[in-house]
């Protein structure tokens, strides 16, 4: 039986099942590794400042994507932990598309000293957010940090 | 150009196992289901019943196994179902001392092409020989299908466990 026979139930079709074993490892990279280690071990957020154009990348990058300048160790500097909320949104569905009871707030934060924005969770008990307000990174306790951007638990209004 | 080469390093399996580098893992869910079509669907359904079915073309008179709905010689649809026997002749074979997953074997597996009685020339199907001394296998040897018990059949070519000498 195949789909071309007039089947009463689609499950009557004879099908051959398979599964492609595809498995990824995605490394943080040279700059990403250093950035995440600093977040985990020092609780500090680092950026790299391009000596050619002055743009400050957060998270830190290995090279400037605007002029291809190599951003060596001398360009690394801590930013934040406070910054300006550039934009924000309420998310009502989870990663599987399931509806949430309460919204998850996410926002773009330009940390103090940074040129680029960082996307992260916002914690807001009152829901009173506005673009331009000052927010601050809240880090997880040192023993819970694993070297991930979620070592910053969330940003909260100051 | 050297100023354009940024510092990097190669990573070993050990670097991942010992967690010397930070990394994310992701297992892609890449499942698929392939519709067997009219001809192979019937072929597999018949195997489950312990029969081997082919397809006949009235123009060239061939009986094709596995069946297809289209005759590639006459360039026209095939005409009727035709059962063939589960007895046949070894056309060619191989003694395989390495398993599909590269494991060495002391006793070889014996894949063979078997021309089934009732099917046309050149319609040999690929299967395994069993219950035979590997040194005794010869081209032209007569063999018969050993079927799995009906309860274990799933509608697959492996519903025939192997072919044994007649």
pLDDT at residue A9 tops 80? no
| pLDDT tens digit sequence for B93-143 | 999 999 888 889 999 999 999 999 999 988 999 999 999 999 999 999 999
Closest CA to B35 of A18, A154, A86: A18
Task: Pull the structure tokens for residue A135.
Answer: 């927010």
pTM over 0.95: no
CA distance A70 to chain B (A): 7
Q: Decide if A1 and B45 are in contact by the 8 Å CB cutoff.
A: yes
- Residue B149 is classified by DSSP as P
Output phi, psi for A100, to 5 deg: -95, 150
Residues 6 or more apart in contact with residue B115 via CB below 8 angstroms = B88, B89, B91, B121, B123, B124
pLDDT digits (tens, 9 = 90+) for A119-128: 999 997 666 8
Minimal CA separation from B10 to chain A, in Å: 11
Once rounded to an integer, what is the mean pLDDT over residues B30-52?
A: 91
Q: What are phi and psi of A112, to 5 degrees?
A: -60, 120
- Nearest CB among A15, A36, A70 relative to B35 is that of A15
Mean pLDDT (whole number) for B20-25: 90
In Å, how far are A18, A120, A134, B65 from A158, measured between CA atoms? 53, 16, 6, 76
Residue A2 sits at the chain B interface (C-beta within 8 Å): yes
ipTM of model = 0.71
């Amino acid at each position: 039986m195949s789909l071309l026979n007039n089947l009463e139930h689609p499950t009557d079709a004879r099908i051959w099942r398979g599964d492609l074993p595809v498995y990824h490892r995605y490394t943080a990279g040279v700059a990403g590794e250093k950035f995440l280690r600093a977040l985990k071990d020092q609780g500090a957020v680092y950026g790299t400042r391009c000596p050619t154009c002055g743009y400050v990348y957060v998270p830190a990058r290995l090279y400037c994507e605007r002029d291809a300048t190599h951003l060596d160790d001398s360009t690394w500097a801590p930013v934040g932990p406070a910054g300006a909320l550039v934009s924000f949104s309420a998310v009502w569905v989870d990663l599987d598309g399931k509806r949430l009871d309460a919204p998850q707030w996410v926002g773009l934060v330009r940390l103090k000293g940074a040129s680029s924005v960082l996307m992260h969770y916002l914690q807001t008990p009152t829901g009173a957010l506005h673009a331009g307000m000052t927010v601050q990174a809240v880090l997880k306790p040192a023993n819970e940090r694993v070297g991930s951007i979620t070592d910053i638990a969330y940003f909260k209004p100051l | 150009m050297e100023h354009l080469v940024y510092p990097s390093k190669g990573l070993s399996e050990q670097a991942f196992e010992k967690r010397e580098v930070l990394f994310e893992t992701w297992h892609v869910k890449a499942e698929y289901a392939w519709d067997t079509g009219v001809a192979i669907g019937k072929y597999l359904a018949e195997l489950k019943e312990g029969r081997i079915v082919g397809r006949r073309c009235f123009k060239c008179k061939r009986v094709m196994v596995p069946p297809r709905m289209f005759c590639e010689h006459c360039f026209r649809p095939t005409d009727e179902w035709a059962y063939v026997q589960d007895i046949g002749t070894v056309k060619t074979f191989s003694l395989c001392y390495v398993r599909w997953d590269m494991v060495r074997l002391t006793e070889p597996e014996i894949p063979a092409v078997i021309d089934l009685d009732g099917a046309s020339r050149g319609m040999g199907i690929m299967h395994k020989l069993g219950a035979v001394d590997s040194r005794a296998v010869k081209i032209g040897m007569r063999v018969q299908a050993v079927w799995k018990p009906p309860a274990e059949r799933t509608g697959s070519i492996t519903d025939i466990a192997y072919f044994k000498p007649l």
